[in-house]
Amino acid sequence: MKLFTAETRKRMSDSARLRCSAEWRKNQSRKLCTPIDAKKLLELYDSGMTQTEVAMALGVSQKVVFNAMRRLGIKSRKAAKRNQTREQNDYWKGDSAGYQAMHRRLDAMFGRPQSCSVCHTSEPGRWYEWASLSGRYSDPKDYKRMCRKCHRAYDNARRKKVIQHA
């Protein structure tokens, strides 16, 4: 443990007292604050730009714009709901999406199957599925509503044809 003289401890205490004052903190905050043209910020934001777009136009980060708006008392708008369907979604994989994604797309486009287009049953206790007719999973027109029994029978028959032709 380091031992300090009484004089050194007093100087350290005085220094800390100065650093912890409200005025010192305010000056430090001003020094670290990114300068931004408040008039230009307000003009751009009022024109309908988002905080991110304003930040790009001013050459600063969105966080700097957010903090400047808060400091200037500018109320931020409620974020608009963005369209996140299909190609507008960053995670959209198109035709290279997986099996489950393709079936979720079918459910979103046509709803969950409630009947079988092969045996024409619509009993509530049965399980209905989308069955791919030719294996082109990315084509929504290539699917048919089937009960699980008809779906399995259809897939088994298709597999037998492939084995016989091989």
Q: Where are the domains of the chain?
A: 36-74, 95-165
Q: Note the residue count of the chain.
A: 166
CB-CB contact of 86 with 105 (8 Å): no
Q: Kindly report the backbone phi and psi dihedral angles of residue 113, in degrees, each rounded to the nearest multiple of 5, phi listed first.
A: -65, 135
Closest Cα partner for 141 from 109, 166, 164, 99?
A: 109
| One-letter identity of residue 98 | G
Torsion-angle region of 2 (φ positive above 0: left; ψ -120 to 50: alpha; else: beta): beta
Is the Cα torsion angle 136, 139, 142, 148 positive or negative in sign? positive
Query: With 80 as the cut, is the pLDDT of residue 2 above it?
Result: no
How far apart CA 106 and CA 94 sit, in angstroms, is 13
Element housing 129 (H / E): strand 128-132
Average pLDDT over residues 71-75: 92
Query: Given this model, what pLDDT does residue 85 score?
Result: 86
Report how far residue 60's alpha carbon sits from residue 67's, in angstroms, rounded to the nearest whole number. 11
> What are the tens digits of pLDDT across the range 90-109?
889 988 998 889 989 999 99
Structure tokens at 43: 């003009």
107, 123, 140, 142, 154 from 134: Cα distances, Å? 19, 26, 11, 7, 11
Rounded to whole angstroms, the Cα distance separating 160 from 77 reads 61
Please indicate, yes or no, whether the overall pTM of this predicted structure exceeds 0.85. Answer: no
User: Which range, of 48-57, 74-83, 113-122, 151-160, averages the lowest pLDDT?
Assistant: 74-83
